[in-house]
């Protein structure tokens, strides 16, 4: 089991370009979450997706950011017209479908994608 | 608003000794879960331990244990027999309610240094 796979690990973009970050959840996991970690801070929730559905995007900036989790393929976090403030580590996590007996799902995190905007 | 606070930006411990990392939280919810995550220099987030709020017994995982004080809204992590590999950033996190199970609130983190 390869775990949660994120790529690229490092991405450098110039201001105004687009950034695409990909996340493949653990095998058998149907829930994907994206978090952002600014330097010297904890992780902040961005969005929660299931296949073809956005369940909770309350942490997503209103503009330039979008996320999808298609029926086939990885989840994508897309940042359009990047600015320097978007420089951060972006983490993806996945979990299996929750059951009442399991309580809160334990998230399995990927190693993150570090975005640097020049 | 629900919050998680870690008031110790940095801590250090001598190898083989015990260290306690502090975490407090604020919520009006009755159903919630608390977690400690470890983030080594590789940046990988690794779950260390979890605690269900409805359980009175403190969770333990080998050398890691928690002191869960529900009335005081405190959730500290104790690392016994510290090892060099324990050096990392530690984050306290919580999930509230019975809805979305992946929306965690993280504290600011505590950097733990282990001295040989």
pLDDT at position B2 is: 82
Residue-wise pLDDT tens digits, A23-75:
999 988 889 999 999 987 889 999 999 989 998 999 999 999 999 999 999 99
Residue-wise pLDDT tens digits, B6-25:
999 999 999 999 999 999 99
User: Are the C-beta atoms of residues B96 and B29 closer than 8 Å to each other?
Assistant: yes
How far, in Å, CA of A22 to CA of A24, rounded? Answer: 7
Strands (E), chain B: 3-5, 10-14, 19-21, 24-26, 32-39, 46-52, 60-61, 64-69, 74-79, 88-96, 105-106, 110-115
Taking the Cβ of residue B7 and every Cβ of chain A, the question of whether any pair is shorter than 8 Å is answered with no
Token pair, residue B63, equals 């050398």
Taking the Cβ of residue A85 and every Cβ of chain B, the question of whether any pair is shorter than 8 Å is answered with no
Residue A107, pLDDT above cutoff 70? yes
List A residues 38-57 in contact with B (Cβ-Cβ < 8 A): 41-45, 48, 55-56
Question: 3-class SS at B84?
Answer: helix
pLDDT at position B31 is: 81
């Amino acid at each position: 089991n390869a775990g949660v796979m994120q790529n690229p690990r490092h991405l450098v973009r110039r201001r105004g370009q687009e950034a695409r970050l990909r996340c493949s959840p653990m095998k058998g996991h149907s829930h994907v979450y994206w978090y952002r970690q600014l330097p010297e801070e904890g992780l902040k929730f961005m969005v929660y997706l299931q296949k073809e559905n956005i369940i909770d995007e309350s942490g997503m900036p209103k503009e330039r950011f979008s996320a999808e989790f298609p029926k086939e393929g990885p989840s994508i976090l897309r940042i359009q017209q990047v600015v320097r403030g978007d420089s951060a580590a972006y983490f993806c996590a996945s979990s299996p479908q929750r059951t009442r007996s399991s309580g809160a799902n334990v998230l399995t995190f990927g190693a993150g994608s570090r975005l640097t905007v020049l | 608003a629900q919050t998680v606070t870690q008031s110790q930006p940095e801590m250090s411990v001598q190898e083989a000794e015990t260290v306690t990392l502090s975490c407090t939280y604020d919520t009006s919810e009755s159903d919630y879960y608390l977690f400690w995550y470890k983030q080594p220099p590789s940046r990988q987030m690794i779950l260390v331990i979890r605690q269900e709020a409805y359980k009175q017994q403190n969770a333990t995982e080998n050398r890691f244990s928690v002191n869960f004080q529900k009335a005081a809204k405190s959730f500290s992590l104790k690392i016994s027999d510290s090892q060099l590999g324990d050096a990392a950033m530690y984050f306290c996190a919580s999930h509230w309610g019975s809805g979305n199970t992946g929306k965690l609130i993280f504290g600011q983190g505590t950097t733990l240094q282990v001295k040989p």
